[in-house]
Amino acid sequence: MRTTTGTRWTATVAVLAVAVVVLGCVDSGLAVRVEHERELLELDELCPLCKAVVLDVESSLATNATEEAIVKALGKMCGLLPLPSEKKAACEAEFEALAPLLNKSDESVLVKYTPRSICAFARLCAVPCCATPYTPEQIHISLGGSAGEMRVTWVTLMDMPAPMCKWGTVQGEYTQSAAAVSDTFPNGGWVGMIHTCVMTGLAPDARYYYTVGADAHPYWDHPNWALPKDLSFVMPPAPGALPPNATTVFVQVADMGATDASDRTLARISAMALDSALDFVLHAGDIGYADGATDLWGQFKRKISSFAAYLPYQTLRGNHEDYYDGVPFFKLFPVPAPTPGGTRSPDTVYYSFTYGHVRIIALNSEDDFGLAPSLAPGGAQHVWLEAELKAADTPAARALHPWVIVTMHRPMYCPDHSTDCDTFAPLFREAIEDLLATYHVDLHLSGHRHSYSRTTPVLHSKIMPAGAAPTYIVCGVGGSKEGTSGYPASPPPWSVFGANDFGYLHVATTASTLTTKYVDASTGGVLDSLVLTR
Ligand SMILES: [Fe+2]
């Protein structure tokens, strides 16, 4: 089978290479496509040997070998393979860069990663993103740009000329189009193209039908196209247009990955989306738990596309997005630059958006492994956050969006005695707690601890009257394979409720009330609720 595949790839590469010469012109899309096919072929040939070497290394390890010893031994595979010197050096560099993160894992490297994944770390096995060369996969939409915009992101295995999105207000009649920007990343042997297209000029509160692809591969008319024909979404209402008693509903999740437990959470979110009972989803970090194994990104993104192609899926960076310096997450889940016309990087994935009565300010708690120096006073993110909060707290802004919610992956208040709660949370409080209180933030949402916990309004660890300080909710129970974190028998006085059941936070707002419900994904039961009024 492998020989057949290799022969087919070789033939395809040869044909395409000839085509480039015959055409005698520079077609960058074609050149990238040829390069991708060469890469797939080359990695495919190296992969079996690498896997055999990894199995050999693994079998030679002592049964009580430490994780550090295991990673160090596996790193020697680069030297054991008959690679040219430049590939050997690249292999060693890739593995050395990843080794500290592999060591930090809570799960044994040998359990967590297959030989294929380990070889993919060093780019000796290919991880094709997609099942077929040109069929769009793993579609999600997101807000976060200017008013009247919706971003759509998808992947294809091969590059294609002039990828685009098309949209319109009538199903199947796509009257508008825009060019997509294409990108990729080489880490972890991943082979594919990420396309991002921004639909503009969209009217508030209107439903739009859309599709993605390229005229050279016209999936929009293909009877066997794998995607549903009715991809659509509803735009947020115009600021101030939503009647005071109308409700905006979203779900906050964190710490998921592709597990049986997260399947139950995702099934309930999908059901709400199908019932049009949900406006957007907020995923506060630790998204796909790929942890360097880039094939898991596709596995997770396929699971969420049942709803993420139909309503905004808003993401934040978590620590499990750190692998390869955050680059795969940064490219697979694009958000706007913090300032219009500014540049983006994995450390600048912070942004804000509004929907109905709610303003969401999404932070990046993960630069420098959770120490987030950019959030400290004087840091770029801190400066940006203060400007956002100040603008959000004016009477005019509050009249349009009464509720201001700040969200980030790591907690600022959590009740157990982990390093996260006793060391990191105080650092975040020192950096931004006064800002949140000064500008009357209503609610802070996070994950990272694999538990649910809710505080009173609290400032400097002192219980405050309603409205005088934010309430902090940690909801990191999306379904992580790492299990749950626990809730202490004697929590601090400001912690009023905690539990460990996998599930999600359901948030509903009108102009005068904000209601949260912590829902057990297995039973659908509400385990905790909170009502804020203003
Ligand atoms: Fe985390």
Tens of pLDDT, residue by residue over 154-205, are 999 988 889 999 999 998 889 999 999 999 998 888 999 999 999 999 999 9
One-letter amino acid of 339: T
Find the 418 Cα to ligand 1 centroid distance in Å. Answer: 13
Find the 296 Cα to ligand 1 centroid distance in Å. Answer: 17
Find the 459 Cα to ligand 1 centroid distance in Å. Answer: 24
Find the 366 Cα to ligand 1 centroid distance in Å. Answer: 9
Find the 66 Cα to ligand 1 centroid distance in Å. Answer: 23
* 137-220+228-234 shares its CATH topology with 248-533: no
Q: Give per-residue pLDDT as tens, 508-530.
A: 999 999 999 999 999 999 999 99
Find the 87 Cα to ligand 1 centroid distance in Å. Answer: 33
Burial class (CB in 10 A: 0-12, 13-18, 19+), 48: middle
Strands 280-283 vs 313-315: parallel, antiparallel or unpaired: parallel
Closest residue by Cα to residue 499 from 483, 513, 486 = 486
- Going by C-beta distance under 8 Å and a sequence separation of 6 or more, which residues neighbour residue 274? 307
Find the 153 Cα to ligand 1 centroid distance in Å. Answer: 24
Q: Mean per-residue pLDDT for 400-426?
A: 96
Output 402 or 144, whichever has higher pLDDT.
402
**Core vs surface per residue 236-250: b (16+ CB within 10 A) or e:** bbebeebeeeebbbb
Find the 319 Cα to ligand 1 centroid distance in Å. Answer: 5
Whole-angstrom distance, CA of residue 284 vs CA of residue 252: 7
Find the 485 Cα to ligand 1 centroid distance in Å. Answer: 11
Find the 385 Cα to ligand 1 centroid distance in Å. Answer: 22
Whole-angstrom distance, CA of residue 256 vs CA of residue 117: 20
pLDDT band at 221 (very low <50, low <70, confident <90, very high): low
- Mean pLDDT (the chain) is 87
Find the 449 Cα to ligand 1 centroid distance in Å. Answer: 7
Evaluate if residue 434 carries a pLDDT over 80.
yes
Q: What is the DSSP letter of 487?
A: -
Q: Mean per-residue pLDDT for 322-341?
A: 90
User: In sequence order, what E strands does 254-292 have?
Assistant: 280-283
Find the 398 Cα to ligand 1 centroid distance in Å. Answer: 32
Find the 9 Cα to ligand 1 centroid distance in Å. Answer: 40
* 208 and 172 Cβ atoms separated by less than 8 Å: no
Closest residue by Cα to residue 291 from 55, 151, 468, 106 = 106
The order of strands in the sheet holding 313-315 is 313-315, 280-283, 248-253, 503-509, 513-520, 526-533
- Find residue 212's DSSP bridge partners: 165
Q: Give per-residue pLDDT as tens, 354-366.
A: 999 999 999 999 9
Ligand 1 (ion): which residues have CB within 5 A? 286, 318-319, 448
Q: What is the DSSP letter of 238?
A: P
Whole-angstrom distance, CA of residue 360 vs CA of residue 363: 10
Handedness of CA 379, 385, 390, 391 (dihedral sign): positive
Find the 293 Cα to ligand 1 centroid distance in Å. Answer: 17
Find the 47 Cα to ligand 1 centroid distance in Å. Answer: 31
Alpha-carbon distances, residue 213 vs 186, 200, 311, 512 (angstroms) = 22, 17, 19, 43
Find the 285 Cα to ligand 1 centroid distance in Å. Answer: 7
Whole-angstrom distance, CA of residue 389 vs CA of residue 391: 5
Find the 68 Cα to ligand 1 centroid distance in Å. Answer: 21
Find the 352 Cα to ligand 1 centroid distance in Å. Answer: 21
Find the 79 Cα to ligand 1 centroid distance in Å. Answer: 34
Evaluate if residue 109 carries a pLDDT over 80.
yes
DSSP notation for 135-180? --EEEEEE--SSTT-EEEEEEESS--SSEEEEEESBTTB--EEEEP
Handedness of CA 479, 480, 486, 492 (dihedral sign): negative
Angle, CA of 270, 249 and 390, to the nearest 5°: 130
Find the 84 Cα to ligand 1 centroid distance in Å. Answer: 38
What tokens does 250 get?
A: 């979203």
Burial class (CB in 10 A: 0-12, 13-18, 19+), 513: middle
Q: Which CATH class is domain 137-220+228-234?
A: mainly beta
Output 23 or 377, whichever has higher pLDDT.
377
Closest residue by Cα to residue 389 from 435, 444, 433, 337 = 435
Find the 447 Cα to ligand 1 centroid distance in Å. Answer: 7
Confidence (pLDDT) at 160: 85
SS3 193: strand
Rounded (to 5) percent helix, strand, coil in the chain: 35, 25, 40
Find the 320 Cα to ligand 1 centroid distance in Å. Answer: 6
Q: Give per-residue pLDDT as tens, 253-289.
A: 999 988 888 899 999 999 999 899 999 999 999 998 8
SS3 241: coil
Look at the chain and count its residues.
Answer: 534
One-letter amino acid of 318: G
Find the 456 Cα to ligand 1 centroid distance in Å. Answer: 23
Q: What is the DSSP letter of 236?
A: P
Confidence (pLDDT) at 357: 97
What tokens does 114 get?
A: 């297959």
What tokens does 481 get?
A: 């394979």
CATH among 1.10.287.3510, 3.40.50.10860, 3.60.21.10, 3.90.190.20 for 248-533? 3.60.21.10
Whole-angstrom distance, CA of residue 43 vs CA of residue 392: 50
Find the 373 Cα to ligand 1 centroid distance in Å. Answer: 17
Q: Sketch the domain layout of the chain as residue ranges.
A: 2-125, 137-220+228-234, 248-533
DSSP notation for 400-419? H--EEEEE-SS-SS--S-SH
Find the 480 Cα to ligand 1 centroid distance in Å. Answer: 10
Whole-angstrom distance, CA of residue 285 vs CA of residue 263: 17
What tokens does 19 get?
A: 């085509």
Find the 322 Cα to ligand 1 centroid distance in Å. Answer: 10
Find the 67 Cα to ligand 1 centroid distance in Å. Answer: 20
Query: CA gyration radius for the chain?
Result: 24
Q: Give per-residue pLDDT as tens, 309-327.
A: 999 999 999 999 988 989 9
Find the 455 Cα to ligand 1 centroid distance in Å. Answer: 20
Whole-angstrom distance, CA of residue 144 vs CA of residue 348: 13
Find the 266 Cα to ligand 1 centroid distance in Å. Answer: 19
- Find residue 150's DSSP bridge partners: 199
Q: Give per-residue pLDDT as tens, 10-57.
A: 333 333 333 333 333 334 444 555 565 666 666 667 888 888 888 888
Find the 380 Cα to ligand 1 centroid distance in Å. Answer: 23
Find the 528 Cα to ligand 1 centroid distance in Å. Answer: 22
Find the 367 Cα to ligand 1 centroid distance in Å. Answer: 13
